[in-house]
Amino acid sequence: MKGEYLGELEELILLTVGILYKQAYGVAVMDEVERQTGRSLNISAVHAVLTRLEDKGLVSSKLGDPTNERGGRRKRIFLLTATGKRAIEEANALRNQLFNQIPKVALQFSI
Amino acid sequence: MHHPTPPKWADRFLCWYCRTDLLEEIQGDAYELYERQCKSKGKFRADLAFGWNVLRFFRWSNLKRRTSPYRPAMMYKNYFQVFKRNLLRQKAYAALNIFGLAIGLACFVLISLYIRDEMSFDRMHTKSDRIFRMHEILESEGVGERSASLPFPVAEALQVDFPDQVEQYVRFFNFQSPALAMSTIDHEKEFYESRAFFTDSTFFDVFDFNLITGSKATALDHTNSVIITQSMAKKYFGDTNPMGKYLVFQGEHNLLVTGVLEDVPQSTHFQFDFLISFSTLTHYYGTSWPGWYWNPCWTYLLLRNPSDAPVLEAKMPAFIRKYFPEEIINDVTLTLFPLADIHLQSNHDYEIQPNGSMSTLYIFGCVAFFVVLIAGINFINLSTARAIKRAKEVGMRKTLGSYKGQLITQFLFESVAVCALAAVVAVGIVIAALPFFNTFAEKDIPFSTLLDPFFVAVLILLPLVVGIFAGLYPAFVLSSFQPITALKSASSGEKGLMFRKVLVVVQFSLSIILLVGTGISMDQLMMLQKNDTGFQQENVIMIQTLRTPVAQTFEAIKAEFKSNKNVLEVTAVEDVLGAKHQVGNYSFDVMEKTRPIPRLNVRHDFLKTFDIPLVAGRDYSEEIYTDDSLALLVNEQLVKQMGWTNETAIGKSFNGRLNKQIVGVVKDFNFASRHQPIKPLVIDLNLNPRAFNLFIKYMAVRVSPDDMNSTISFLESKWEEQYPGWPFEYFFLDSSLESLYKAESKLSKITIIFSALSILVACLGLFGLSTHTVEQRKKEMSIRKVLGSSDAEIFLLFTKRFFVLILIAIVIAFPLAYVLMKQWLSTFAYQVDIDFVIFVLVGFAALGIAFATIAFQAWKATRTNPATVLKND
C-alpha cells in the first residue's frame, strides 16, 4: 500500500530530516543529502518527497520566521513525528534483522 | 544591500501555477538557491538554473486547483431539488416552455418520419441495388413521350444480347387499362381491379415479396395462373382456402390461384393485388405478339452488378438500331433507372402509380427545420428572460461559497432537464398524433419506427443541443454576477434584451415565410385545379369500356343512352381527358419522316361532348365515311409548331398521302395535367371496333345536372341489359382530375398544419415574453400611473415594443418569402401570379395574432392597482 511502504529516497530524506533537527527545510535537506551521500537531487524532487512524507504523517511542518534572505520568504521547517520515528526504527530493525541472518560464511571473502 | 533578482518571467510563471499554500516555501527555496548560485556561478547560470527549477516544480501536486474538492453527486441532488421547486413555483412558464418545445420536437419527428419513409421505398429487396427499370424516351424536338414502359420484346432481346450484364428480367403488363374485371366462378363477387398485372415467371427471382402459400419457383410458370394477395383472398374467397380455386378474368377467362402473397407494403413504388402469369397472354395474342412500337410493358432488369448499368446504357444506341422500327430509331433513347430512386425521382409518362417527389421532401425538410428552430428560439428566449429572476439565488449561492463552474453546471443542468421533459412530452404527442398523421399523409408508419437509432438519436441529441444553447446564456451571464450587486437589487433588469429581440425577429420571420409559402402554394393549387382547362369537366361520366363487348355495339348503346333526355352527348375516348394521353407517329405535309405526337383516339361527337371549340375547319361528321381514315383534327399548338396558320392548316396532308387531310383545328385545351404546358395534339377518329381492345378505354357521357341520380341508374340499367355479367364502373371526370394535383394538395395540407403549429409555438414564446416584461416593469408602470399616465398610454407602451419587432420581422420575411416562392413556382408550367394580397393578409395576421397574444398581458398591466405593487417598498 502506498501509505505504508517507505521508498528508498523517502527513507533517506526522512533520516536527513531527523539529522537536521529543527533546521530541516527544502534546500537544507537537499544540501545535507548531497553532503552525506554525494547524491545531487533537484530541489523540486526534495519538495515532492517531503510533501509525500507529510501526507503519510511521517513528518510534520510549520513555517519558520521570515529572514532577509530568500527574498523575505519563510522556510517550512519539517520535524519527525512519532510515526516517522517508528518508521525509521522499523526500517532499521528490518535491515539489521535481515543482515544478521546472512550466514557468516557468505560474508567471508578471501582476497 | 543590492540583491540580484531572478528572471521575472520565470517568477511570474511560478506564481501563476503554484498552489498558494505551497508558493511561499517553494519560492523561498528557489530564491535561496538562486542567491547562492549567483555568488558561485554568476548571474547568467543562476538565471538558467532558476528557470529550470521553476519548470521542475511544475508538477501536478503543486498546481492550483480551480475548485475545491466537492461532491458533484450531492450537488446534483441539490440542483434537482431547486429545479423541481422552480418548475412548480412557475407552473405557467414551465408549461409554456415545455409544451412549446415539445410541439416543435414532435413536428420535427413527424416530418422526419414522413421523409424517412419516403426515402425507404423499394429498399426491402435484397437485390434492390442491382434492379433497374428501363425507360424509353421517344421524343422529337421535345415532343413525344418519356415512357416508363417498353415494348414487349425488349427485355428478352436484352437478356439474349447482353448475358454478361443482364441476369434476369421481369415485365409487368395490364393492357394499359385503368382496371380489369375479376370475378368468382359463380359471379357472386364481381369487381374491377386496378392493381392486376401480367408478369413474368421470373418475378420472384428479381423481387423479394413474401409468398405465404404456393411455390415461388413455379407459381407463375403455367398459363392461366394467378397469385393474389391476402386481402384479395379474403375479398373473393372469404375464409376458405383460395389455393386451387378459379377466378374469372374479364368475364371470359378462368385463372387458377396458385399462390397467396402477403399484402404489398406501402413503401413500394407500385402496388398490386393480382399477378397473372405472362404466358396467359397467348390467349390474347396467340402467335402474333405486339412488336417493337407499342410500349406497354414496365420492364425491370436484374443486372449482375450495379456498375453494369452505364455499360449497358452505352450499348443501347446499337441495340435500338438493330431492333426498333425504322421510323423511330432516331427518336428513341433507352435509359436505366435504379429501382430505389424511382419513387422520388422518376417522373415519366405512364408511371404505374404516381410517385413522390424529391422537391416536396426538401420543402418538408425546411418546414421541419423551421418549426424546430422556432421552438428552440422560444425556449432560449424564455429561459434567458426568466434567468434574471434567479439573480438573487446566484448571489446567495456565491456568498455561501459556490464556484462559478458549479453555477454554470447548475444552469446547464436545469435547462437540459427541461428539454428532456419536453422530449418525453414530444414522444407522447407523436404517439398520439401518428395515427392521424398516417391517415392524413396516406402513410403506414408504425410506432416501432421511433425506436430506430436515428429517432432515438434525434430525441436525445436535439433536446441536449437546445438545452445547452438555452442554458449557456444564463449560465455564463448569471454566474459572473457580483454577489453584492445581485443581492442588492433585483432588477439587474434588461440584460440580453437585444439578443432576445433578435431571436423574436428571427422567429417571426420564419413563421411569416411559412405562412406566405402556404398561402401561395394554396393559390397555386387552386389555380391548377380551377376549371379553365379548355374543356367541359363537370357532369361528364366516364364508363370503363376497355376489352368489353361495347366494341361490337357501341352505336347501339349510344342510341340507347341518348334516348334519355338528360343524356346530352355520348362519345368514346382513348384516355381520361385532361390526365392521360397516348402518343402516335405522324408526319405532316412534306415531312419525310414521322415523329411522335400526343394523340387521342376518339369516336364521333368528341368535341361536342367535351365542349371544345373549333377555330377552323369542321368536326368529324357521321355522314362522311372516309373521316375514319382520311381526316384528322389537330390543336392550335401543333399548327403553331408547324408554322402554319389555323386557316392554312386545313387541307394539309398527313402521313405522306395527299388524300389524307387535316380537316379541323381545335382550340388548345389542357389534355394533360397542367404541370406541363400544352403540347401539340392530334385527335384521331377511330371507328374500328377492335380499337376498344386497346385504344379506346372509356365511354364519355355528358349528362344534364338535373336529376343526376336517376340518369345514372338509367345508364346502369341500360348497360346491364346490354352487357350482363359486366360490371358498370363509372366515375365523374372532374373528381378524377382532382387527383392529378394530389401531390400539391397533400403538400399544401401538410404545410398548412405545420405552419399553423409554428405560429402557435411562436405565439407561446411571445406570450411568455410579454408576461415576463409586464412582471418586470410592474413597478415602473405603477409609478407611471401614480404620476398620471392613462391606461391607454401604458397599454401602448407595452404593445409598441413588440409591434416594432413584428414589423421588422415582416420587412425581413417578405422579400425572402417572395424569392423562395418564385423559385418554387418556376418548377411549374402554369404559375399563379404571386398575389400581394397574400402578403398583406399574412402581415395583418401576424400582427393580429401577436397583438392578441400581448394584449391580454398589457391589459392586465393597466388594471393593476399601483398601491398593491408599491406598498411593499
**How far apart are alpha carbons B363 and B375 in whole angstroms?**
18
**What local confidence, expressed as pLDDT, does residue B493 receive?**
52
pLDDT per residue as tens digits for the range A42-70: 999 999 999 889 988 899 998 888 877 78
Q: Which of B27, B33, B53 sits opposite A73 (nearest CB)?
A: B27
Size of interface A-B (CB pairs under 8 A): 59
Residues of B with CB below 8 A from A42's CB?
A: 53, 56
pLDDT per residue as tens digits for the range B680-723: 999 999 888 887 777 788 999 999 988 889 999 999 999 888 88
**What local confidence, expressed as pLDDT, does residue A1 receive?**
38
**What local confidence, expressed as pLDDT, does residue B313 receive?**
92
pLDDT mean over B182-198: 87
Residue whose entry in the numeric block shows the C-alpha cell 402469369: B277
**What local confidence, expressed as pLDDT, does residue B255 receive?**
92
**What local confidence, expressed as pLDDT, does residue B70 receive?**
58
Q: Which of A69, A71, A75 sits opposite B25 (nearest CB)?
A: A75
3-state helix, strand and coil shares in percent for chain A, rounded to the nearest 5: 55, 10, 35
- Give the distance from CA B451 to its chain's centroid: 22
Taking any CB pair shorter than 8 Å as contact, residues of chain A touching chain B are 25-27, 42-45, 47-48, 51, 63, 69-71, 73-76
**What local confidence, expressed as pLDDT, does residue B683 receive?**
92
Task: Give the contacts of B623 (CB within 8 A, at least 6 positions apart).
Answer: none
Nearest CA in chain B to A44: B57
Q: How confident is the model at residue B595 (pLDDT cuts 50, 70, 90)?
A: confident
| DSSP element (H, E) containing B600 | strand B595-602
pLDDT mean over B174-194: 83
- For residue B826, the SS3 value is coil
Nearest CA in chain B to A49: B61
Provide the mean pLDDT of chain B.
86
Q: Which of B25, B35, B59 sits opposite A26 (nearest CB)?
A: B25
Residues of B with CB below 8 A from A59's CB?
A: none
Higher pLDDT, residue A4 or B749 = B749
pLDDT per residue as tens digits for the range B205-219: 999 998 999 888 888
B499 interface with A at CB cutoff 8 Å:
no
**What local confidence, expressed as pLDDT, does residue B170 receive?**
94
Cβ atoms within 10 Å, residue B823: 9
CB contact under 8 A, B33 and A42: no
CB contact under 8 A, B25 and A76: yes
Provide, rounded to the nearest whole percent, the portion of chain B with pLDDT above 90. 26
Residue B293: pLDDT over 90: no
Q: Which of A103-107, B263-267, B862-866 has the lowest mean pLDDT?
A: B862-866
pLDDT mean over B389-406: 81
DSSP codes joined into one string, B194-256: SSEEEE-TTHHHH----EEES-TTTTTTSTTEEEEEHHHHHHHHTTS--TT-EEEETTTEEEE
Q: Which of B389-393, B433-437, B678-682 has the lowest mean pLDDT?
A: B389-393
Task: Give the contacts of B37 (CB within 8 A, at least 6 positions apart).
Answer: B45, B46, B49, B50
pLDDT mean over B135-158: 88
CB contact under 8 A, A51 and B61: yes
**What local confidence, expressed as pLDDT, does residue B134 receive?**
94
**How far apart are alpha carbons A78 and A25 in whole angstroms?**
6
pLDDT mean over B789-801: 83
Complex ipTM: 0.87
What distance in Å separates residue A28's CA from the closest CA in chain B? 9
CB contact under 8 A, A63 and B24: yes
Residue B591: pLDDT over 50: yes
CB contact under 8 A, B33 and A43: yes
In terms of average pLDDT, the best of B123-132, B775-784, B844-853 is: B123-132
**How far apart are alpha carbons B768 and B772 in whole angstroms?**
6
pLDDT along chain A (111 residues), means of 10: 71 92 90 91 91 90 83 88 90 90 83 60
Residue B763: pLDDT over 80: yes
Domain ranges of chain A: 8-107
pLDDT mean over B299-314: 92
Residues of A with CB below 8 A from B57's CB?
A: 43-44, 47
Q: Which of B97-101, B354-358, B643-647 has the lowest mean pLDDT?
A: B354-358
Cα dist from B340 to B114, B126, B270, whole Å? 17, 12, 12
Residue B68: pLDDT over 60: no
B 33-72 residues inside an 8 A Cβ radius of A: 33, 35, 53, 56-57, 59, 61-62
Q: Which of B25, B53, B58, B62 to mutate to test the interface with A (most CBs of A within 10 A)?
A: B25
Nearest CA in chain B to A64: B25
Bridge partners of B139? B144
Strand-strand pairing, B298-303 and B332-338: unpaired
CB contact under 8 A, B28 and A73: yes
**How far apart are alpha carbons B405 and B402 in whole angstroms?**
8
Q: Which of A44, A51, A73 sits opposite B24 (nearest CB)?
A: A73
Q: Which of A31-40, B95-104, B389-398, B571-580 has the lowest mean pLDDT?
A: B389-398
State the CATH architecture for A8-107: Orthogonal Bundle (1.10)
Residues of A with CB below 8 A from B27's CB?
A: 71, 73
Provide, rounded to the nearest whole percent, the portion of chain B with pLDDT above 70. 97
Residues of A with CB below 8 A from B2's CB?
A: none
Alpha helices in B241-357 (DSSP H): 282-285, 308-314, 316-323, 339-345
Q: Which of B28, B56, B59 sits opposite A75 (nearest CB)?
A: B28
Q: How confident is the model at residue B298 (pLDDT cuts 50, 70, 90)?
A: very high
**Three cell numbers, residue B657:** 398521302
CB B423 within 8 A of CB B479: no
Higher pLDDT, residue B825 or B141 = B825
Residue B814: pLDDT over 90: yes
CB contact under 8 A, A44 and B53: yes
Higher pLDDT, residue B531 or B460 = B460
Residues of B with CB below 8 A from A51's CB?
A: 22, 61
What distance in Å separates residue B68's CA from the closest CA in chain A? 18
Cβ atoms within 10 Å, residue B710: 11
CB contact under 8 A, B26 and A47: yes
What distance in Å separates residue B14's CA from the closest CA in chain A? 12
Residue B194: pLDDT over 90: no
